[in-house]
Amino acid sequence: MKILVVGSIAYDSVETPEGKRESQLGGSASYFSVAASHFTEVGMVGVVGNDFSEDDLALYRSHEIDTSGIETVDGKTFRWTGDYLQDINTAVTHETQLNVFADFSPELSEKHAEAPFLFLANIEPSLQLQVLESMSSRPKLVACDTMNLWIDIARGPLAELISKVDVLTINEGEARQFTEEQHLPTAAAALLESGPSTVVIKRGEYGAALFSKHFNFAAPAYPLAKVVDPTGAGDSFAGGFMGYIAATGDTTEEGLRRGAIVGSTMASFAVEAFGLDRLRSLSRQNIEERFNAFVDLTRFQAIDGSNALPLR
């Protein structure tokens, strides 16, 4: 198993301008795992209730995802209800039922604790720290995500976590909130100061910006004619990003750049359908074609001998 992910497994009820779904499979660990599974073997650690469907477990397994770290406990699976009716880029939460997630305390098997790549999806920072400390040796690359709630109520543990990861993925607004810097490059610089060697700022329909001490990289979002359900876009980005890096073992600048485009590719698929519907049905050709579309979306002629700028 190449990547271990710890995060939420959820049943989401969501309404968007394109329609409405009740209790669809979701959660950060689900989106991450299915996206990453197109590139490498993923193991999930999470908790579900005894309402969790065998079909949903089968979906993970059909992507060769190791589900042995999914604990089933008495009670109901984590549930989220929300809509994107006012603004397709911003979820309005109607209800969050933590259910079995409330008492979640991730425990790693020996096999899981040896994973060379670790993604700490958005859960309480103290749990993310607990998982990181449970690893038998420091993974080759550790990435984490977070959310505004933890900046508000668990800033201390979150800051400790950020100091210990290699890659932080964070929304633009959260980056500003955490650093109290309005200007994005300044916010990114403050985050880099606090620990990670790479910060990925997620900008929704504007794509992602990758900041490191040595280089910056801008990945656009793919211009989709229709966004059906934006839920899970950030975790799908992370799944593509980490999946690519884990599969190639390439943690160099080149690997991070390409990983960000693979991440943008997977995020662009995620939002094309409700829940995991598009991510679960992708062919190799689909992914290669979309990646190539990003090449086409960003390419232009650099300055070379025969191609100088016409400067006066």
Least CB distance to its own copies at residue 298 (A) = 5
Q: Single out the residue of 5, 25, 88, 120 in contact with its own copies (rule: CB under 8 A).
A: 88
Between strands 19-26 and 10-16, the pairing is antiparallel
Compute the half-sphere exposure of residue 215: CA atoms within 13 Å on the CB side of its CA.
8
Report DSSP state, residue 144: E
Which one of 35-43, 66-74, 98-106, 110-118 is the stretch in contact with its own copies (CB under 8 A)?
Answer: 35-43
Residue 223 near its own copies by CB under 8 A: yes
Instruction: At 105, list the tokens.
Output: 């305390």
Binding to its own copies in span 262-291, by CB under 8 A: 262, 284, 287-288, 291
d(CA 161, CA 168): 10
Residue 214 near its own copies by CB under 8 A: no
How many other β-carbons are positioned within 10 Å of the β-carbon of residue 57? 17
Binding to its own copies in span 108-127, by CB under 8 A: none
Least CB distance to its own copies at residue 195 (A) = 20
Residues 6+ apart with CB under 8 A from 297: 220, 222, 223
Contact 12, 267 (CB under 8 A): no
Residue 216 near its own copies by CB under 8 A: yes
d(CA 64, CA 247): 14
How many other β-carbons are positioned within 10 Å of the β-carbon of residue 47? 24
Q: Single out the residue of 91, 127, 147, 297 in contact with its own copies (rule: CB under 8 A).
A: 297
Least CB distance to its own copies at residue 312 (A) = 6
- Residue numbers of the site for its own copies (CB under 8 A)? 37-40, 64, 88, 182-186, 188-189, 203, 205-207, 209, 211, 215-218, 220, 223-227, 244, 247-248, 254, 257-258, 260-262, 284, 287-288, 291-292, 295-303, 308-312
